[in-house]
Chain A
Amino acid sequence: MPAAAYEKVLLPNIEKNETEWLSAYQKGGGYTALRTALGMTPEAITNLVKDAGLRGRGGAGFPTGLKWSFLPKGVGPRYLAINADESEPGTCKDRPLMEQRPHSMIEGIIITCLAIESQQAFVYIRGEYYNSAKVVQKAVDECYAAGILGNNVLGSGKRVDLVVHRGAGAYICGEETALLTSLEGYRGYPKLKPPFPAISGLYGKPTIINNVETVTNVPYILNKGVDWFKSFVHEKSTGLRLLCVSGHVKKPGVYEVPMTYTLREIIYDICGGIRNDHDLKFIIPGGSSVPWLLPDKLDAVCSMEGLQAAGSFLGSAGMMVMDHTVCPVWALTNLSAFYRHESCGQCTPCREGSAWLHKILLRIETGHGQEGDLQMLRSIAGTGPGTGMICGRSICALGDAAAWPVSSALNLYWNEFEEHVKNKGCGYKNKRFWMNKAGNFVNDAFAHKPTWGHAAH
């Protein structure tokens, strides 16, 4: 149902696209939550976040307070790593959050450090976000100068240091263990779990990894209270959520919404409907990894539970909307090129599987599909989560992420895939393809890879 009028707190003035620096942030009540937190015990802060039902905004939706409480007692030092390696296609909420409200994130980070008794936090910002890193670094400098960060946080005698660290172009570093390996100065290879980072993380020490949006919610939970946070509720999804709607809607953008709207309300009311009043073809509701949804699921509620009931996931809340001009085979080929490129190459099911999925899809899309190709795709990708040759067999979830869209697209569009194989190519008039001017097939998805690079599959 459409929510009653509500106050947006994370990105209240997103359309202005201005950075709120320290003085403006403090004028609006900034860092009062930190003062409150300094008077609380770590357990009290953690319990508040638990009571609010805050769940991770990065994709997996794990309860934040519960994650914090997994740290072993009496073992230190402990680290906090903030995941700002926002790389899931369709997702672009942490960038405006960091560039417009850097202090709101920093306040959340310091409070989280108090809750988990850590003195050292890192923000790992993806390399492509040059500006975000500059803005956050400047805001951090402001905090050190004002005594908000450093060895005497607001005169409390508590120490919190914050380092801004930049990635350099690797989707895999959004995976928490890969992020830590990268932060240690190595290739971003994920690690097998257990041990979980809460036990053995950065430099082998207990570490908590939280998404930017997750920690940015924390000051507002302290200021406005658990009841306010829980007033936005659908089943176990509480609070406001930054939803990124891209693709063929009239008004794409990042919208701060309670998780109570249906997909129909988001696409047709908030985003103004489909461009040129075209028909809706399909929706990828939670970042490129999640199963696709057809228009028959438009009445699903856009919450973690609502979308799961509809057969997909809210994931990172990056919603891509396709109109009827989009060929599902072409779209899937594009996504599998992404996963093939971004597979770190460490474990075989993902490295080989993502490459095979892309190779087979590419030949179907370019008119060279063979009999049995669809069956082979299905045997690799499976028929849903947990099946096939990749899902559940790789070190991290990238393998699953590469397989899910394939199994989902085959389930939804088997006939269109069959026609591509039978008719030797795509019947979509305005399809886009990878051909050079001479009409030869060029695999330019890899054109920029160095010839001696890590993923010369």
Chain B
Amino acid sequence: MAILKNRHDEIEKLCAKYPSRRSALLPVLWMVQEQEGWVSQDAMKEVAEIIGCTAAEVYEVVSFYTMYNQKPVGRHHIQFCHTLACAICGSHEAVGHIREKYGFDEGASISRDGKFSLVEVECIGACTEAPAMLVGETLYGNLTPERLDEVLNARN
């Protein structure tokens, strides 16, 4: 145990909430990601030991759920919605704006300075506030170029 070494009690409390220890797999993976920003293969091995399953089983789950980052992300992780309700309100333009203004090389998911990472995601449930994005854990809706810059500059 290296990554979650100081969190034994927290983990056991979590596992005790469920009739089956395996149910704690997603929450424990969230603990890893909240602490580390992503879920490494070493973390998967550790989580497997905690849950009592194989590392392959953990990987099977991590690779299914798109929110678990399998690679390190930027200091501020942006998840921009590009599904229809946001798309008809300009999400593709907004993503272009972010890529251009905040230093993303073509095809790169992390900005050159490592401050921001950007993924386009499917519907984030903020359709009536389109276009919308999550920065870290915070939702920002009704984005205009001005508001987008305001939000991102505050974290720059």
* Nearest Cβ on chain B to A78's Cβ, whole angstroms: 12
Q: How far is the CB of B80 from chain A (nearest CB, A)?
A: 10
B83 beta carbon closer than 8 Å to chain A: yes
By beta carbon, the residue of chain B nearest A252 is B128
Contact A168 B139 (CB under 8 A): no
Q: Which stretch, A190-198, A256-264, A318-326, A368-376, touches the partner chain B? A: A318-326
Interface hits, A357-380 → B, CB 8 Å: none
Instruction: Tell me whether B122 and A338 are in contact (CB under 8 A).
Output: yes
A-B contact pairs, 10 of them (CB 8 A): A89-B122, A90-B85, A166-B30, A186-B61, A244-B128, A247-B130, A253-B128, A341-B122, A445-B82, A447-B107
* Inter-chain contacts of A244 with B (CB < 8 A): 127-128
Q: Decide yes or no whether A69 CB sits under 8 A from chain B.
A: no
B36 contacts A by Cβ under 8 Å: no
- A341-B22 Cα distance, complex, nearest whole Å: 26
0 or 1 for each of B47-88: is its CB under 8 Å from A? (1 = yes): 000010000000011011111101100000001001111011
Is the Cβ of B137 less than 8 Å from the Cβ of A254? no
The contact of A185 among B20, B63, B87, B137, by CB within 8 Å, is B20
Mostly, the A contact residues are loop
Contact indicator per residue, chain A 160-197, by CB within 8 Å of chain B (1) or not (0): 00010111111100000000001111111000000000
Q: Complex formed: what's the CA distance from A453 to B63 in Å? A: 5
Interface pair A131/B139, CB less than 8 Å apart: yes
A414-457 Cβ-contact flags toward B at 8 Å (1 or 0): 00000000000000000010101100000011011110111000
Within 8 A of A (CB), among B121-135: 121-130, 134
User: Chain B's nearest CB lies how many Å from the CB of A409?
Assistant: 12
Query: Which of A95, A126, A127, A254 is most buried by chain B, counting CB atoms within 10 A of its CB?
Result: A127
Known interface pairs A89-B127, A246-B85; A163-B18 also in contact (CB < 8 Å):
yes
* B125 engages A126 (CB within 8 Å): yes
Contact yes or no, B64 A188, CB < 8 A? yes
Give chain B residues whose Cβ lies under 8 Å from the Cβ of A86.
Answer: 125
Which residues of A from 126 to 165 have beta carbons under 8 Å from B?
A: 126-131, 163, 165
Q: State the Cβ distance, A115 to closest chain B Cβ, in Å.
A: 21
Contact residues of B between 17 and 52, Cβ < 8 Å to A: 17-20, 22-27, 29-30, 51
CA–CA, A344 and B138, complex, Å: 27
User: Which chain B residues border A87 with CB–CB below 8 Å?
Assistant: 122-123, 125
Q: How many A-B residue pairs have CB under 8 A?
A: 169
Range of interface residues on A (Cβ < 8 Å): 35 or more
**CB within 8 Å of B: which A225-268 residues:** 244-248, 252-254
The reply to whether the CB of A116 lies closer than 8 angstroms to some CB of chain B is: no
Q: Does A62 contact B (CB under 8 A)?
A: no
Q: Does B144 contact A (CB under 8 A)?
A: no
In the complex, what residues of B have CB within 8 A of residue A335's CB?
A: 83-84
Are B84 and A130 in contact, with the CB atoms below 8 A? no
Q: Are B79 and A185 in contact (CB under 8 A)?
A: no
Top 3 closest pairs, chain A to chain B, by CB: A169-B67, A168-B65, A448-B119
Which chain B residue has the least Cβ–Cβ distance from A271? B128
Q: Which residue of A lies closest to B107 (CB)?
A: A447
Indicate if the CB atoms of A163 and B130 lie closer than 8 Å. Answer: no
B124 touches A128 (CB 8 A): yes
**Residue ID in chain B nearest A88 by CB atoms:** B123
Q: B124 — nearest CB in chain A belongs to which residue? A: A128
Q: Cα distance A92–B132 when bound, in Å?
A: 12
The answer on a CB contact under 8 Å between A320 and B84 is yes
CB atoms of A128 and B66 under 8 A apart = no
Q: Are A432 and B127 in contact (CB under 8 A)?
A: no
Q: Once the chains bind, are A452 and B63 in contact (CB under 8 Å)? A: yes
Q: Identify the closest chain B residue to A344 (Cβ).
A: B64
Nearest Cβ on chain A to B58's Cβ, whole angstroms: 10
18 A-B pairs besides A128-B79, A130-B137 with CB distance below 8 A are A89-B127, A127-B65, A130-B139, A170-B64, A184-B22, A185-B26, A185-B51, A186-B61, A187-B61, A246-B127, A247-B85, A288-B123, A318-B127, A338-B83, A342-B122, A447-B107, A450-B63, A452-B70
Bound Cα distance from A89 to B20, whole angstroms = 32
- A395 interface residue (CB < 8 Å to B): no
Pairwise interchain contact B23-A432, C-beta atoms closer than 8 A? no
Residues of B within 8 A of A185 (CB): 20, 22-26, 51, 61
> Whole-angstrom distance between the alpha carbons of A288 and B122 in the complex?
12
Q: A182-B26, A185-B23 are in contact. Are A168 and B17 (CB under 8 A)?
A: no
- A214 contacts the other chain (CB 8 A): no
User: Is A331's beta carbon under 8 Å from chain B?
Assistant: yes
Q: Which residues of A contact B66 (CB under 8 A)?
A: 168-170, 448-449, 453
Check B83–A131 contact: CB distance below 8 A.
Answer: no
Does any Cβ of B come within 8 Å of A91's Cβ?
A: yes
B93 within 8 A of A: yes
Partner of A166, one of B27, B107, B121, B130: B27
